[in-house]
Each structure stands twice: as structure tokens, then as C-alpha cells.
Structure 1
Amino acid sequence: MSSRPVRVGLQLQPQHADYQSIRRAAAEAEDIGVDILFNWDHFYPLYGDPDGKHFECWTMLAAWAEQTSRVEIGALVTCNSYRNPELLADMARTVDHISDGRLILGIGSGWFEKDYQEYGYEFGTAGGRLDDLAEALPRIESRLGKLNPEPTRDIPVLIGGGGEKKTLRLVAKHADIWHTFGDPEKVEHKIGVLRRHCADVGRDPAEIEISAGVSGKPAETGQTLLDLGVTLFTIEANGPDYDYRELREWLTWRDEVNG
């Protein structure tokens, strides 16, 4: 079991809603005590009407940086394919400053083929996209070290995904937070793989915060995942009607666990 405090994240999915509704939902999430407010990096809805209302990720994060004052913010996750790594580093540094140091840089290799086709990006293969991510991460780190002004803090890097050969090795080398999903048995297996990669690259796995996507009631999986080492529990909320009943239960559980 980790010594980190339990945190609760919310992925506020920016689909099927007017932006005014998204703004209100972000404000409510901060007011009721969520620790991290995530969106996602897609150009079209993932559920429901595939051509329904949708908004872009990073311009929204800049708006959230101004709108909010306490909650950390980030993408779950940025698609590496959509932006030059140096540009992404500069965008992250800028949102970091706008938010007074509350940005988490969530990133992954990308997977939603419609985004690629409609916006003119080469989809390629899953392995090729992971290779591109492996090339991009050191470039992002290097650019963050060259920017003037520099970031307000060492921006935490969150890597999402569970690929055992490539993704988890990138997590071991580069991530401050790793986001995964699945039942406790699957999460336990992936954590074991991550620990082996950490040993291979000389990284203390305790340095990496483990995040899991969860649903249902915390009594069902919360303690089991916590015992495995998960300390960031992330709930989804889908537009246009952002329902926070489940989120509130996880926030209550968090406060009970943290004492």
C-alpha cells in the first residue's frame, strides 16, 4: 500500500455539450472537491452521435487554467501525434504559467482512427505510434528545459496505457503518473510488469503515482485497488448532462481513507 494520499480525478468528457455547460461542470467539480480535472484529446465524440458537439483539448485547458484556482488540470491524455513535441512542450509551459503551476502533462500514443483521417494525420500502426511517443518524450523534456521563462515547477508527466513491452517501459523511464484501467486482477498484473521495467531502467517504482479509471461504488473496488498501490481514482462524466452522483461517492470515500 502506498504512503501517498488518495486523490480523485474527474475526466470531464467534452462531447455532446455546449461550452457553457462544460464551464459550469468544471466549476462544480472544483467546488465539490475533485483533485484533478481532466478532459481528453479528441476531435469527435467517442460515444453517442459520432458527429455530435465536441471541443478541442488544449485551448480548453488554457480556459480552465483561468477559470479554476485550486484543482490540477490536464488531458487524459494528449495524443502525441497531433502536435510537434517542441510545440506541445511550449503549450504545456504556457498553461502551467496560466494556472500557477497546476498542469499535469498527460500523454499517450493515440488510437482513435477517425481523428487521424479527418484531420490529415498519418495513422500508421500502433507500434509505430508508440515509437513516435518514445522519440517525442525526450524532446519534450529537452524543450521544457530551454524555455524562457521556464515552467513554474517540474510539470508532472502522466502516461496512459497498458502495453507491456513499450508503453510500460516508457512509463518507467519518463512518467510521474501512470494511468491504467481494468479489474483489480488486471491492474495487479500490469503493476508487476511496470515494476520489472523500473528495475531494468534503475527507477524506484514508488516515484510513480498509479492512477486507475474506476466506475461504480468505491466499496466494490476502492480498497482492493488501494492495497495494490493505486492512489489516484479517476471517474468519467459524459455530456451533455454531467452527473456527479458517482463522483461524490468517491470523494466521500477519499476523505474517509485520508482521515
Structure 2
Amino acid sequence: MTIVWAGLSVGAVYALTAIGYNITMTFGGVFNFAHGAFVILSAFFSWFIMVDLGWPWWSAALFGAVLGALVGAAEELIAVRPVVRRTDTRALLVTTVGAFVVIEGVLGATWGATPKSVEFFGGSDPFTLLGGRMAPVDVWLIAVAIVIGGGLHVFSRRSLWGLAARGATSDPDAARTRGINVGALRTGGFALAGALAGLLGPLVAPKTGASVGIAVSVTIFGFVALAVGGFGSFVGCVVGGMAIGLIQAYGGRYLGVEYPPVLLFAVLLAVLLLKPSGLLGRHGVRAV
């Protein structure tokens, strides 16, 4: 069970990253490749607030959410809105990749390439659960990923904003004729995804650390989790993230550390060939 808990906790980080991708896709119709950099930005910011300044964890979560929302909204206004009307969707991918590179470069220039660690606010003493050892941060990550995934699933289907955003994503022109501000919904989606990443910084940072070097890994495996779980499905993001974490944990344990990436991309290829929308995804969602 120790391997299971380890895989699920790492998978929870991938699930939360996938949820961020899915927010901008569901509420804005855009895949934001830069969201993985938002996760690492929140980790660095949490280290700055909690370790460098010595402030409590809740202040890092609060200010991190505000910073993430501002950066997310700025990215939409600067990197997405000028090209969103183009028929060539590759332009959006290029601009969001550019945003990823800019954020990564700013982090490296500000805090350097040396990895930084953050203590978990709930303690670090491991304990036994169902025969396996796990740390308090593992429990929190798994629980928070499930709660957020389930909560956003309900919100996107029951709230006025969620229903309007889903309609605007499916047919922007029809949504505009009904008085829906598609641009504002998209900006709100980017701000929401950024705020979520910033809010969870004090929870994610103790697990991943704060390091520019892991930004690419979080970005790629978060996308794999989204693709496997299902484009447009928040529950699918959780399922996909947990599955990827388990595959990574078991592959590393029994085959060696060099094999998990091969296994993960084999799973990704199989899912895309057999069910392109993902295990729980819905058709009609624009994907990369």
C-alpha cells in the first residue's frame, strides 16, 4: 500500500494541474500550456512567503491566489485574446508556450535554479494507513484533488457561469447573440485557473519542492492526465491523474526509474487511438 499512497499523492499533483488545464478549456475554449508554470510559480511564491518572509501558510495561499488570478488574466489579455479569433489554432498553442517560457525565465532569474523546500503546515510525521506508510501532505493532496474535481464538476453543470461558459465554448457566435460576454468568460476562466494554482501552493510545494527544473515534467504529465481522464471532464482529470501517478509509482518500483515515462506515453497513445476524448471526456471539446 505504500506504493499506492505514493502514486496517488503524486497523481493528485498531476490531477490538480490537469484541472487547471480543464478550467481554461471548459470556461474559455483554450488549452493553456502555461498552466504547468503557474503551478511552479505558486510553489516558489509559497516558499517566498512561508520560508523567506516567515509568514503563515494561509497568507501564502491567500496572496498566491490573488497573484495567480492576476497573472492568469494578464496572460489571457496579452497572449490569448489577440490571436483567439484566428482559424489557425496553432497560434494559441505558440502564444501559451511563449507564456510558459516567460514565466519559467522570470522564476529562474528571480529565485535561481537551486531547488527549494517547503515544510507542510500539517506536519511531516509519517503514519500507517491500510498497511501503507504515508505523510500528512499525501492525505491532503488526495482529498483536495477529489473535492476540487467533484466541486468543479457540479459547478460547471449547475451554475449559471458554468452553463454559459460551456455554451460559449461549444458555439461562441451563438452565445454572443444571446448576450453572453465570451471574452469576459475566457478571462475569468484563466483567472480562476491561476487563482486555484496559487491557492494550492502551500499544499503542492511541500510535495514537489520549488524548482524550475520540474516545470516541464509537471506540464507534460498534467497534460497526459487530462488526455487520459478526458477533455472537458473534471472527474476525469482526477481519475487520469491518479492513474498516471500509480503507473509511474509501480513502473519505477518494479521496472526502474527510466521506464515510467515510456509506460505513460504508451498509455496516452493507446487512449488517444481508442478513445480520443479520454476515458470520461465529452465530445465537442476543443483539444490540442
Instruction: Provide the TM-score with structure 2 as the length reference.
Output: 0.26
Report which of the two has the higher share of strand.
Answer: 1
Report which of the two has the higher share of helix.
Answer: 2
Greater RCO, 1 or 2 (C-alpha within 8 Å, sep 6+): 2
Instruction: Provide the TM-score with structure 1 as the length reference.
Output: 0.29
- Larger C-alpha radius of gyration, 1 or 2? 2
